[in-house]
Amino acid sequence: MLITEYLKGGDLHQYLKEKGSLSASTAVSFALDIARGMAYLHNEPNVIIHRDLKPRNVLLVNSSADHLKVGDFGLSKLIKVQNCHDVYKMTGETGSYRYMAPEVFKHRKYDKKVDVFSFAMILYEMLEGEPPFSNYEPYEAAKYVAAGHRPSFRSKSYLPELRK
């Protein structure tokens, strides 16, 4: 039996659909909540790799959208790390193409860093109002990213460092 917490605020995907791009301060606040959740998941010795981090799996605690929580662990994987030298790399394609790290798409060995890549794609979407490479179908977007392409920020209001 699986018991989950009910969060009545909906998910980040729907929120972004309704609101569009977020202010930098709101995006940072949301990003901090996601990062805290990931830090908890990635804390050794019991590392949980989410493997499907995307806006639909980030939940708003309430309708005022003041906090987020990471949810939907259906594809997650628990890895026990015995010491800091342990290698816990997996292979296999799992997750959602639009937020998938290149190494997962290419069926290469991967670890918890794939969640960090997905997190970056979510942050981009929060700031830009749409997913990276939204002009491509999800599979084609993943293929494009796997070929080494990275999204650039379109907004002129961001610091030059972010647009690179």
pLDDT per position as a tens digit, 112-156: 888 999 999 999 999 999 999 999 999 999 999 999 998 888 765
Catalytic residue among 11, 33, 52, 115: 52
Average pLDDT over residues 105-112: 86
Residues 6+ apart with CB under 8 A from 158: 24, 127
52 flagged as catalytic: yes
Which of 18-32, 73-87, 94-108 bottoms out in mean pLDDT, i.e. has the lowest?
73-87
Q: 141: closest CA among 86, 96, 83?
A: 96
Query: What was the pLDDT predicted at 86?
Result: 47
Q: Per-residue pLDDT tens for 46-86? A: 788 888 899 998 999 887 778 888 877 666 666 665 555 44
Confidence class for position 160, pLDDT limits 50, 70, 90: low
Superfamily of domain 12-81+90-146: Transferase(Phosphotransferase) domain 1 (1.10.510.10)
CB 70 within 8 A of CB 53: yes
Mean pLDDT of 77-96: 59
Label residue 36 by pLDDT band (50, 70, 90): very high
**Which band of pLDDT confidence, cut at 50, 70 and 90, is reported for residue 108?**
confident
pLDDT value of position 49: 83
Residue 159 pLDDT exceeds 60 = no
- What pLDDT does residue 42 have? 85
List C-alpha distances in Å: 83 to 41, 42, 77, 78, 109.
17, 14, 18, 15, 19
Is residue 45 pLDDT above 90, yes or no?
no
